[in-house]
Amino acid sequence: MTAIKHALQRDIFTPNDERLLSIVNVCKAGKKKKNCFLCATVTTERPVQVKVVKVKKSDKGDFYKRQIAWALRDLAVVDAKDAIKENPEFDLHFEKVYKWVASSTAEKNAFISCIWKLNQRYLRKKIDFVNVSSQLLEESVPSGENQSVTGGDEESVDEYQELNAREEQDIEIMMEGCEYAISNAEAFAEKLSRELQVLDGANIQSIMASEKQVNILMKLLDEALKEVDQIELKLSSYEEMLQSVKEQMDQISESNHLIHLSNTNNVKLLSEIEFLVNHMDLAKGHIKALQEGDLASSRGIEACTNAADALLQCMNVALRPGHDMLLAVKQQQQRFSDLREHFARRLANHLNNVFVQQGHDQSSTLAQHSVELTLPNHHPFHRDLLRYAKLMEWLKNTDYGKYEGLTKNYMDYLSRLYEREIKDFFEVAKIKMTGTTKESKKFATLPRKESAVKQETESLHGSSGKLTGSTSSLNKLSVQSSGNRRSQSSSLLDMGNMSASDLDVADRTKFDKIFEQVLSELEPLCLAEQDFISKFFKLQQHQSMPGTMTEAEDLDGVTSSRQHNSGTPLPVSSERDMIRQMMIKIFRCIESDLNSLIALGDKIDSFNSLYMLVKMSHHVWTAENVDPASFLSTTLGNVLVTVKRNFDKCISNQIRQMEEVKISKKSKVGILPFVAEFEEFAGLAESIFKNAERRGDLDKAYTKLIRGVFVNVEKVANESQKTPRDVVMMENFHHIFATLSRLKISCLEAEKKEAKQKYTDHLQSYVIYSLGQPLEKLNHFFEGVETRVAQGIREEEVSYQLAFNKQELRKVIKEYPGKEVKKGLDNLYKKVDKHLCEEENLLQVVWHLMQDEFIRQYKHFEGLIARCYPGSGITMEFTIQDILDYCSSIAQSH
């Protein structure tokens, strides 16, 4: 390889003023092996240019030729493929990637090392070396400016060094002094050699002359050392003299430090004593107020409150480290603890007495409310107790055990008081609803009116008197369906000239007012008590509480569920739960009494559930706007569920009663009782639910009821024997359509259209069926004529048929003179009058349609005569005007 390198240098690079630094024998990867050489070169002239040259052996002879050259500055990446294992392959990234395989790994490493050194020395651009061993690069790091580029070529690389400015100047001066140096180099060299010898001789003489000077200097140094020893002896004596002074100064300094430390300690001690005196000293007036203060007067309560706050501040003062070990501090803390215990016990006893006294005072006022539908006002009691609110907060923070005891006692006393008041309140409400006294109420749960109506209905309808339901509203409606029954019912009710419907409206209005008054009395009572509990017991209530609470929860565990140490405050969620549980314990009877009142109202009249649903929904909505999770909202919500169930039950009972209605076989049907009842229900519901929050419940009930009405009208019509089916359907669906049109119920628009369609269809059916063929023989004759025409005989040739000639036609027409026609129409009118009821007033409508149908048949016959018997001059014995006169005369005569 060395011989090749010298040959390449001589033949290729020297003529181009280039110097060869490294060489590697390579071939292209993946192809047929054609060896070549990659050479790293630098130019000998400045500026130095570094290149990578590819040299290839010529095919024609045994010499090498330069094939391609790349500037080193164009090289971007050197990829050695593997930094750990030996691998002869490597890539050079110029304008494209060149893949090479070296003849040996050593040659590859030497070439890459040379490239790295050239990059470090000559190029500002740093080439990326990928997968190259860091050890290889570290070994190649130059240690000085004149470090060699590669091992075998150090001298060749370092032969050229750049001269600095001073060197250049010295050479120029020297060359100016020897102008012949350029033309005669040997003479110039000899001159330089002689001058160098002269300089060497001068140096030797100078060294020899300086030996004497050195001896003199040594003597002077010895003398100086002696002088130094003498000075050190004097300094030692001085130091011994100053030592005693130093000791005295140290003693003085230590004394001053102790004095300063004593002063500092005294100042700190005074500060600590002042801190304890200022923060742990309770005024005598406060102590007296805590021990003997009057808890009944406003001034005494204020003094006790201020004293309690001062005591709490003293007890909660943040002591500094070590204070709690002082005997005086311990004694003071024990004194504060005793004062707190004494005052907490005195306060708890006083408030318990106030709770008991409130129960007695409030009980004495119950008598005046027993005849009025009002609840006693607890505002004065709350006002008096709120004076103790700050003391309750103090008790809550200092002695939670006594605070819990007071809470439980308050609930016990107040729950009994409220239970008596609410029981009496609901008794008055029930008396006003039923119109009975307390004594008679035990023996009669239904009003006299209801039982009278039941008896009347049973006597009139037999089996229909067994209709189920909480009231006899359906039966009342059936009673009202006939005029003679109204008077009998009215006499049984013994209510003067008022009808049963008027009495129902009056009773329901009265019930509605009573029920609204009950809710209006309970609502402020509960809200006032809840607000008082929050303020008096210092509990937060204005944040939403998750979940609901019912009486099924352990009411006696209101305080036992909270396992807190004395003085530990409750978290916010627990305080909200405590308010709710206290309200449930205090007003535990409200929900049951409300349900009892609702059951009574439903028992009096099932339609009362409509009033209750609207009123209860409104109050629930109002309560939820104030606090959706309050006791009042939860309780009213539970009761609303019961009211909704009663409402659904009322609807179900009406549908069941529709299904159980039976009709008389001897009298005409007319308007069915449940159709009239639906009218009353819808009218009542629309007046009650106007602008109500739960309109959706009524719409669902409407849908169920109207479906039941439709189904059972058809059922009764199919079972009717006295009245034709079409009449039952026509009259009842006309009544339903009129009701829905009058009330304009938006959710029943489809049913209104359906009712109208059914009414129209059955009206037309009844007219056609009842009218039939009033000119029967004439009908049969012309049916035969139409049959012949249908068989293909021309209309003008029908008169030539034996059975349908002109003589036969005249014979048939003579059988129907005007007098007979009028008689037939009169009988038809009587028959229709017998079928139809008076309530719907449909007789004239039906009669008019029959008149139109008869005229249509008449015109049809005349048309056939004109087409089949042209020019015969045959006409009917009566005219259309005669028909109109007959119908008008018959209608007026009846």
Per-residue pLDDT, averaged over 878-892, amounts to: 79
864, HSE (Cβ side, Cα atoms, 13 Å): 22
If you average pLDDT over residues 227-247, what whole number do you get? 86
Which residues lie across from 23 on neighbouring strands?
39
Q: Which pLDDT band, with edges at 50, 70 and 90, does 371 fall under?
A: low
Residue 153 has pLDDT above 60, yes or no: no
**What pLDDT is stored for residue 238 in this prediction?**
86
Residues of the chain above pLDDT 70, percent = 82
pLDDT at residue 544 tops 60: no
Tell how far CA 52 is from the center of its chain: 73
Cβ-based neighbour number of residue 421 at 10 Å: 20
In this predicted structure, what is the pLDDT of residue 53? 93
d(C-alpha 132, C-alpha 787), whole Å: 117
Residue 655 pLDDT: 87
> What pLDDT is recorded for position 757?
92
Least confident interval from 287-296, 444-453, 594-603, 656-665: 444-453
Q: What is residue 538's predicted lDDT score, i.e. its pLDDT?
A: 83
Beta bridge partners of 128: 77
Which amino acid, one-letter code, is at 292?
Answer: E
CA distance 356 to 346: 16
Q: Which residue has the higher pLDDT, 282 or 208?
A: 282
CA distance 695 to 272: 75
- Which of 180 and 290 is assigned the larger pLDDT? 290
CA 845: distance to chain centroid?
61
Determine the pLDDT at residue 448: 36
What is the four-CA torsion angle of 704, 709, 715, 719, rounded to 10 degrees? Answer: 150
Q: Which of 172-186, 534-548, 780-794 has the highest mean pLDDT?
A: 780-794
- State mean pLDDT over 351-355: 89
460 — pLDDT class (breaks 50, 70, 90): very low
Rounded to the nearest 5°, which phi and psi values hold at 68? -155, 150
Tokens of residue 266, six digits: 């005294």
Residues 6+ apart with CB under 8 A from 860: 782
* Residue in the block written with tokens 């009950």: 518
pLDDT band at 836 (very low <50, low <70, confident <90, very high): confident
Q: What secondary structure does DSSP assign to 502-564, as a single string?
A: HHHHHHHHHHHHHHHHHHHHHHHHHHHHHHHHHHHTT---SS---S---TTS-GGGTTTT---
Q: Which residue has 């009215």 as its token pair?
A: 490
Q: How many helices (H) and strands (E) does the chain have?
A: 31, 8
In angstroms, rounded to a whole number, what is the distance separating the alpha carbons of residues 706 and 48?
A: 110
Q: Which residues pair with 65 in a beta bridge?
A: 56
Q: What is the pLDDT of residues 462-479, one digit of tens each?
A: 333 333 333 333 333 333
Per-residue confidence (pLDDT) for residue 788, from 0 to 100:
86
Alpha carbon distance 755, 761 (integer Å): 10
Q: What is residue 182's three-state secondary structure? A: coil
Higher pLDDT, 565 or 684: 684
> In terms of pLDDT, which residue wins out, 571 or 384?
384
Q: Strands across the sheet with 128-130, in order? A: 64-71, 50-57, 36-43, 18-28, 97-102, 89-93, 77-79, 128-130
The average pLDDT across 321-346 equals 85
The more confidently predicted of residues 559 and 136 is 136
Residue 349: which pLDDT band, with cuts at 50, 70 and 90?
Answer: very high
Of residues 474 and 708, more confidence is placed in 708
Q: Residue 24: pLDDT band by 50, 70, 90 thresholds?
A: very high
pLDDT of 747 above 70: yes
Lowest mean pLDDT among 15-24, 221-230, 426-435, 796-805: 796-805
- CA Rg value for the chain: 64
Q: Confidence class of residue 768 from pLDDT cuts 50, 70 and 90?
A: confident
Domain ranges of the chain: 1-136, 188-280, 291-434, 664-773, 774-893
What's the confidence (pLDDT) of residue 442? 39
**Which tokens in the block code for residue 743?**
């009330």
Averaged pLDDT, 800-812? 82
Cβ contacts of residue 157 below 8 Å, gap of 6+?
Answer: 19, 21, 42, 148, 149, 150
3-state secondary structure (DSSP) of residue 288: helix
DSSP per residue over 756-773, as a string?
A: HHHHHHHHHHHHHHHH--
Name the H helices within 323-399: 327-364, 366-369, 379-385, 389-398
Mean pLDDT over 313-318 rounds to 82
Confidence band for 847, pLDDT divided at 50, 70 and 90? confident
pLDDT higher at 824 or 446 = 824
Beta strands 77-79 and 128-130 are: parallel
pLDDT in tens, 404-445: 999 999 999 888 888 888 898 888 888 888 876 444 443 333
Give me the residue label for tokens 């290729």: 12
Identify the pLDDT of residue 180: 57
Top pLDDT among 159 and 735 is at 735
Rounded-to-integer distance, Cα 803 and Cα 793, Å = 14
The structure's pTM equals 0.53
> Where does the pLDDT of residue 484 fall: very low under 50, low under 70, confident under 90, or very high at 90 and above?
very low
Helix, strand, coil percentages for the chain (3-state, nearest 5): 70, 5, 25
With 80 as the cut, is the pLDDT of residue 157 above it?
no
pLDDT digits 0-9 by tens, 201-236 = 888 777 777 777 778 888 888 889 889 988 988 888
> Any idea which fold 1-136 has?
PH-domain like (2.30.29)
pLDDT (mean) for 298-315: 88
Task: Specify burial of residue 319 (Cβ count, 10 A radius: 0-12, 13-18, 19+).
Answer: middle
Q: Is the confidence at residue 457, as pLDDT, over 80?
A: no
Higher model confidence: residue 178 or residue 885? 885
- pLDDT band for position 542 (50/70/90)? low
Name the nearest CA neighbour of 11 among 37, 45, 35: 37
Within 13 Å and on the Cβ side, how many CA atoms surround 426? 20
Sign of CA dihedral 461, 704, 519, 364: positive
Give CA–CA dist 424/433, Å, rounded.
Answer: 14
- Which of 258-272, 295-309, 475-489, 665-679 bottoms out in mean pLDDT, i.e. has the lowest? 475-489
The set of residues, in sequence order, having a beta carbon less than 8 Å from that of 453 and lying 6+ positions away, is: 472, 475, 476, 479, 489, 492, 493, 500
Q: Rounded to whole angstroms, what are the CA distances from 179 to 167, 189, 410, 425?
A: 18, 13, 130, 143
Q: Which residue, among 792, 786, 768, has the nearest Cα to 853 in the 3D structure?
A: 768
Q: How many other C-beta atoms are found inside a 10 Å radius of the C-beta of residue 802?
A: 7
Task: Say what the pLDDT of residue 672 is.
Answer: 86
Q: For residue 57, give the nearest of 3, 4, 108, 111 by alpha carbon.
A: 4
- Position with higher pLDDT, 800 vs 49: 49
End-to-end Cα distance, the chain? 148
Q: What does pLDDT average to over the chain?
A: 78
pLDDT band at 772 (very low <50, low <70, confident <90, very high): low
Nearest-5° Cα angle at 356, 354 to 359: 110
107 vs 22: CA distance, rounded Å = 9
Distance of CA 524 to the CA centre of its chain: 32
> Would the pLDDT of 450 be above 90?
no
In 435-472, alpha helices (H): 438-441, 448-461
Asked if residue 718 lies in contact with residue 661, where contact means CB atoms within 8 angstroms, the answer is no
Confidence of residue 513 (pLDDT cuts 50, 70, 90): confident
pLDDT at 769: 80
Pairing of strands 64-71, 50-57: antiparallel
Q: What distance in Å separates the CA atoms of residue 655 and residue 101, rounded to the nearest whole number?
A: 102
